């Protein structure tokens, strides 16, 4: 959805000068897919310039944008992720802007929905990409995104009233955030298998081009965590289409069986974000 010229002018005026210059000649379109707190815009380049993406947010969203910038810069050594063009943050009021390159391809979720005959191949590609991600060197990753960190963040979100209970999965319809929190405690302790994770490994955040994975986006939760952080998200997404795809994914990823207890823990935890 295109935004009005007056809206674009007002938003640009609030930016630091260096960022204003970088986006001045672009045509802005709001991208609502996958938004979580921050506003996302696709900036269409003019006169042959490249397309870019801009994320903007204040307060907690500004902190999330800063976290994503750091993760993009680390992951760029290993995986196809958007390149950071510019990042800016101001203190009063707390706002952040992240300008990134647009990546080629379409979301894997769109391929899965539009082309049932391609689902097995897409599942195989997702599993291969996740194996690649989980093989990255944990010792080199500076970001802790493990369960203790995520639980602390979840508790902060509950206390701040930031959890959207209306967005809970169907199996938890009508629950409160506190009920989810209590169910999480019942799942503990878990024994993590630490790897470098995406943090939100949904087909919505994986791009495909000509049948292959061309990139991953929305990496603001990436870091060292239990591998089931990623497995749970993609398991849920595939189950919404066909349970057979879940089993195929597990086999292609290389697991003999799936740990239902860990799946439950990470799906509960995801409700609070």
Is the Cβ–Cβ distance between 38 and 69 less than 8 Å? no
Q: Residues 76, 122: one domain?
A: no
Domain that residue 95 falls in = 5-101
Q: Residues 169, 72: one domain?
A: no
Phi, psi (5° rounding) for residue 84? -75, 120
**DSSP structure string for 160-217:** TT---GGGS-GGGTT--HHHHHHHHHHH------EEEE-SS--GGGEEEETTEEEEE-
Is the Cβ–Cβ distance between 82 and 42 less than 8 Å? no
Digit-by-digit pLDDT tens for the chain (273 residues) are 567 666 777 778 788 888 988 888 788 998 876 556 789 999 998 777 789 999 999 988 999 999 999 999 999 999 999 999 999 999 888 899 999 999 999 999 999 999 999 999 999 999 999 999 999 999 999 999 999 999 999 999 999 999 999 999 999 999 999 999 999 999 999 999 999 999 999 999 999 999 999 999 999 999 999 999 999 999 999 999 999 999 999 999 999 999 999 999 999 999 999
End-to-end CA distance of the chain: 25
End of a domain among 84, 101, 118?
101
pLDDT of residue 1: 57
Q: Residues 119, 194: one domain?
A: yes
pLDDT of residue 4: 67
Q: Residues 43, 175: one domain?
A: no
Residues 6+ apart with CB under 8 A from 241: 112, 113, 119
pLDDT of residue 36: 64
Q: Residues 178, 253: one domain?
A: yes
Which one is catalytic: 64, 200, 230, 270? 200
Is the Cβ–Cβ distance between 138 and 131 less than 8 Å? no
Give the number of residues written for the chain: 273
Dihedral sign computed on CA atoms, order 185, 149, 66, 213: negative
- Cα gap 11→179, rounded to integer Å: 39
Q: Residues 141, 86: one domain?
A: no
End of a domain among 72, 101, 130?
101
End of a domain among 79, 101, 123?
101
Q: Residues 115, 46: one domain?
A: no
Tell which residue, 34, 40, 72, 62, has the closest CA to residue 53.
Answer: 40
200 is catalytic: yes
- Cα gap 79→35, rounded to integer Å: 22
Q: Residues 86, 118: one domain?
A: no
Q: Residues 83, 147: one domain?
A: no
Number of domains within the chain: 2
CATH code for the domain in which residue 70 is found = 3.30.200.20
| 118 burial type by CB count under 10 A (0-12 exposed, 13-18 middle, 19+ buried) | middle
pLDDT of residue 2: 62
């Amino acid at each position: 959805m295109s935004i009005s010229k007056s809206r674009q002018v007002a938003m640009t005026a609030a930016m630091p000068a260096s960022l204003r210059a970088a986006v001045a000649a672009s045509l802005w379109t709001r991208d609502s897919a996958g938004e979580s707190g921050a506003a996302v815009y696709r900036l269409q380049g003019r006169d042959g310039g490249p397309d870019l993406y801009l994320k903007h947010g204040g307060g907690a969203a500004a902190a999330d944008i800063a976290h994503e910038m750091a993760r993009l810069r680390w992951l760029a050594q290993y995986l196809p992720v958007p390149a950071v063009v510019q990042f800016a943050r101001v203190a009063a009021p707390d706002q952040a802007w992240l300008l990134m390159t647009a990546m080629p391809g379409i979301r894997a979720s769109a391929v899965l929905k539009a082309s049932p005959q391609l689902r097995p191949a897409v599942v195989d590609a997702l599993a291969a990409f996740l194996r690649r991600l989980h093989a990255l060197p944990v010792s080199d990753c500076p970001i802790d995104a493990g369960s203790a960190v995520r639980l602390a963040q979840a508790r902060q979100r509950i206390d701040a009233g930031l959890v959207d209970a209306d967005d809970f999965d169907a199996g938890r319809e009508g629950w409160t955030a506190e009920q989810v929190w209590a169910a999480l405690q019942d799942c503990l302790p878990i024994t993590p298998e630490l790897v470098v994770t995406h943090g939100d490994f949904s087909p919505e955040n994986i791009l495909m081009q000509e049948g292959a994975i061309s990139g991953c986006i929305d990496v603001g939760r990436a870091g060292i965590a239990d591998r089931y952080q990623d497995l749970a998200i993609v398991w849920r997404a595939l189950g919404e289409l066909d349970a057979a795809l879940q089993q195929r994914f597990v086999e292609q990823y290389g697991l003999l069986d799936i740990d239902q207890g860990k799946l439950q823990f990470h799906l509960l935890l995801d409700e609070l974000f």
